[in-house]
């Protein structure tokens, strides 16, 4: 059984402003860098065999800080781990969306990435990880919406609707018939 440790990236200025980030390439702010150092210190005391990351700055910066604390661990950048494409809402706050498109903006075609595309690319990379690293522990540094969608696909008897905290750790045992979530949204390092 392969174990996946999902880590959400550190906080950004847009997170603080409530702006939809999606595929926008926003870097960590100073607080986000500190959060990444804290999760790095926590993970350095655990056994992990490789780190995969989204190429987007907020995730890749978090992953680079983590890998700097783990001698000799492989860091793999994979575009399939990127955040869900937010279409026309990227860069906007809820208030700005309501002002621009009205209270029912969620019912409009805003150009979001299709659910099927997100699930397909996410499950494909996780399957490759499982095949390449059987019986190993792999960190995946990615994004809140992407990670939640993967959890909902992997863990059949649960629904993960809670927003994941920045630099939270969620651990999943990938098993053949049924995967198991052993830790969810843990931020004890903060």
Using CA atoms, how far residue 34 sits from 113, 182, 186, in Å, is 31, 26, 17
Q: Say whether 113 is catalytic.
A: no
Nearest to residue 62, comparing CAs of 147, 148, 141? 141
> What does the block give as tokens for 7?
């880590």
* pLDDT score of 1: 87
pLDDT score, position 156: 75
Q: How many of the other CB atoms lie within 10 Å of CB of 133?
A: 18
Range of the domain at 35: 2-186
Query: Exposed (0-12), middle (13-18) or buried (19+): which is 156, by Cβ within 10 Å?
Result: exposed
Catalytic one of 83, 90, 113, 143: 83
Residues in the chain with pLDDT values less than 50 = none
Whole-prediction pTM value? 0.95
CA geometry: angle 137, 139, 142, nearest 5 deg: 155
pLDDT at position 17, please? 97
Pairing, β 137-142 against β 180-186: unpaired
The number of folded domains in the chain is: 1
Q: Is 9 a catalytic residue?
A: yes
Q: Say what the pLDDT of residue 73 is.
A: 94
CA distance 182 to 45: 18
The helix or strand, by DSSP H or E, that contains position 147, with its residue range, turns out to be helix 144-154
Helix-strand-coil split of the chain, %, nearest 5: 40, 20, 40
- What is the model's pLDDT at position 71? 86
> Strand pairing partners for 140?
6, 52
**Among 9, 90, 113, 143, which one carries the catalytic annotation?**
9
**In CATH, what number is assigned to the domain containing residue 69?**
3.40.50.1240
Per residue in 43-82, pLDDT (tens digit) is: 998 999 999 999 999 999 999 999 999 988 999 999 999 9
pLDDT at 175: 83
Q: Measured between alpha carbons, how far is 48 from 190 in angstroms, rounded to an integer?
A: 20
């Amino acid at each position: 059984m392969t174990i996946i440790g999902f880590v959400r990236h550190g906080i950004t200025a847009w997170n603080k402003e409530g702006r939809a980030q999606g595929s926008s390439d926003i870097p960590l702010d100073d607080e986000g860098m500190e959060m990444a150092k804290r999760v790095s210190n926590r993970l350095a005391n655990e056994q992990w065999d490789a780190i995969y990351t989204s190429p987007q700055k907020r995730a890749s910066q978090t992953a680079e800080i983590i890998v700097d604390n783990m001698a000799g661990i492989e860091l793999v950048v994979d575009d399939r781990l990127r955040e869900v494409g937010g279409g026309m809402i990227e860069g906007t706050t809820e208030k700005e969306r309501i002002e621009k498109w009205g209270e029912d903006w969620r019912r409009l075609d805003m150009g979001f990435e299709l659910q099927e595309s997100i699930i397909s690319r996410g499950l494909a990379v996780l399957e490759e990880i499982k095949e390449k690293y059987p019986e190993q522990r792999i960190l995946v540094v990615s994004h809140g919406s992407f990670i939640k969608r993967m959890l909902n696909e992997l863990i059949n008897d649960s629904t993960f609707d809670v927003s994941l905290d920045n630099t939270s750790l969620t651990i999943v045992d990938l098993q053949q018939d049924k995967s198991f979530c052993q830790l969810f949204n843990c931020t004890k390092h903060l």
